C-alpha cells in the first residue's frame, strides 16, 4: 500500500491509473477505522480496479464547540488495517495541504443541509461538501463509497454530485452494527459503560418502527410519538426523531416506500446518529 501525503502526488497517481485504463474507487474517511470502514473498503475493491482511502480529519466540518481536538486518531493502526484490506493508496494530507492560508472557497448545497443535523450544526455540511469536492477533483474516482449511518451526508453528496455533473457513482453502504445493535462509529469510544447501554435506545427505536410498519401503521405522527417515548426511557437527550423522504429529507405524514426514520441523541456528551429505511428488506 502506498501512502500519499500531498494533493499533487495524489493527482499524479490518479492520472497514471486512468491513463492505464483502470478505474478508481474512493472511500473518504476521518480515520480511526472500525469494521464499518473496512466494509466500505471491500466494496470499493469490488467496484473498481484500484481502491483509495482518504484519511483526513477535516477541520472545517467541526463547529466551535465540537470534538475536533479530541477526535480519535491512530495513524499506524489505520495504516495496518487498510493495508490488510488490500487498499492501494492511503491519501493522508495535512491541513495546510488541503486548505492553504489563502483558501477562500466553500462548496454549499442548499435545502438539504438546513434540516436534521444541519439545523444544530451550522456550517457542518459546507465543510463536508467542500472536502469531498476536493477529494473528487484530486482522486478522480469512478465510484465513491459512503456509509448510510450518515444518511443526510449521503443525500447531500448525491445532490452535489448530480448538480455538478460529476461522473462518479455514489454508493451508500448499509449501516454496520455492533452485536448489540449499536451503529458502529469512531465516536463510540467516547461512551462510558452506562452511556453505551443508554445509546442502545436508538436501535431499539428502529426495531420498533420496523415492526410497526410491518403491522400496517401508516400515520407518521403516531410512530414518532412511540419512538419519542422509547428514547425517553433512557438517560439521553433527544436532538431529533424524524420521518423523512430519503431523497428530499422532507418530513412525511404518511409512511410509505422511501421513508427514513432519522434519529440524533446525546448520550452524556457524545452525539450519536442512527437511521433506517423502514420499508427496505434487511
Q: Taking the CA atoms of 110, 113, 115 and 121 in sequence, report the sign of the dihedral they define.
A: negative
Q: How far, CA to CA in Å, does 183 sit from each of 89, 110, 225?
A: 27, 28, 23
Active-site residue among 37, 124, 137, 173? 37
Pairing of strands 2-4, 24-29: unpaired
The DSSP letter of residue 209 is H
Q: What's the rounded Cα separation, in Å, for the pair 253 and 221? A: 7
**Catalytic-residue membership of 37:** yes
Q: Report residue 123 as a C-alpha cell.
A: 456550517
**How is 73-130 classified by DSSP, letter by letter?**
--HHHHHHHHHHTT-SEEE---HHHHS-TT--------STTSSTHHHHSTTHHHHHHH
Q: Cell numbers at residue 57, please? A: 480529519
Report the C-alpha gap between 229 and 181 in whole angstroms: 19
| Catalytic annotation, residues | 37
Amino acid at each position: 500500500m502506498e501512502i500519499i501525503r500531498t494533493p499533487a502526488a495524489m493527482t499524479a497517481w490518479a492520472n497514471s491509473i486512468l491513463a492505464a485504463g483502470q478505474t478508481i474507487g474512493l472511500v473518504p474517511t476521518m480515520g480511526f477505522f472500525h469494521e464499518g470502514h473496512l466494509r466500505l473498503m471491500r466494496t470499493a475493491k469490488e467496484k473498481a480496479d484500484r481502491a483509495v482511502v482518504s484519511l483526513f480529519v477535516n477541520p472545517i466540518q467541526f463547529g466551535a464547540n465540537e470534538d475536533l481536538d479530541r477526535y480519535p486518531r491512530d495513524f499506524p493502526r489505520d495504516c495496518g488495517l487498510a493495508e490488510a484490506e488490500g487498499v492501494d493508496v492511503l491519501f493522508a494530507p495535512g491541513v495546510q495541504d488541503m486548505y492553504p492560508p489563502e483558501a477562500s472557497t466553500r462548496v454549499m448545497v442548499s435545502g438539504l443541509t438546513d434540516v436534521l443535523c444541519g439545523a444544530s450544526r451550522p456550517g457542518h455540511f459546507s465543510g463536508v461538501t467542500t472536502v469531498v469536492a476536493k477529494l473528487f477533483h484530486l482522486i478522480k474516482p469512478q465510484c465513491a463509497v459512503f456509509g448510510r449511518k450518515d444518511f443526510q451526508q449521503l443525500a447531500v453528496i448525491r445532490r452535489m454530485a448530480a448538480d455538478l455533473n460529476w461522473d462518479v457513482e455514489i454508493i451508500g453502504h448499509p449501516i454496520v452494527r455492533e452485536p448489540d445493535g449499536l451503529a458502529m462509529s469512531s465516536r463510540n469510544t467516547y461512551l462510558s459503560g452506562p452511556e453505551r447501554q443508554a445509546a442502545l435506545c436508538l436501535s431499539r427505536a428502529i426495531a420498533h418502527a420496523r415492526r410497526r410498519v410491518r403491522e400496517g401503521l401508516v400515520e407518521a405522527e403516531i410512530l414518532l410519538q412511540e419512538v419519542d417515548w422509547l428514547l425517553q426511557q433512557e438517560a439521553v437527550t433527544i436532538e431529533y426523531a424524524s420521518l423523512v423522504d430519503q431523497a428530499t429529507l422532507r418530513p412525511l405524514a404518511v409512511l410509505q416506500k422511501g421513508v427514513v426514520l432519522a434519529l440524533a441523541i446525546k448520550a452524556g456528551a457524545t452525539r450519536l446518529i442512527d437511521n433506517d429505511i423502514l420499508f427496505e428488506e434487511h
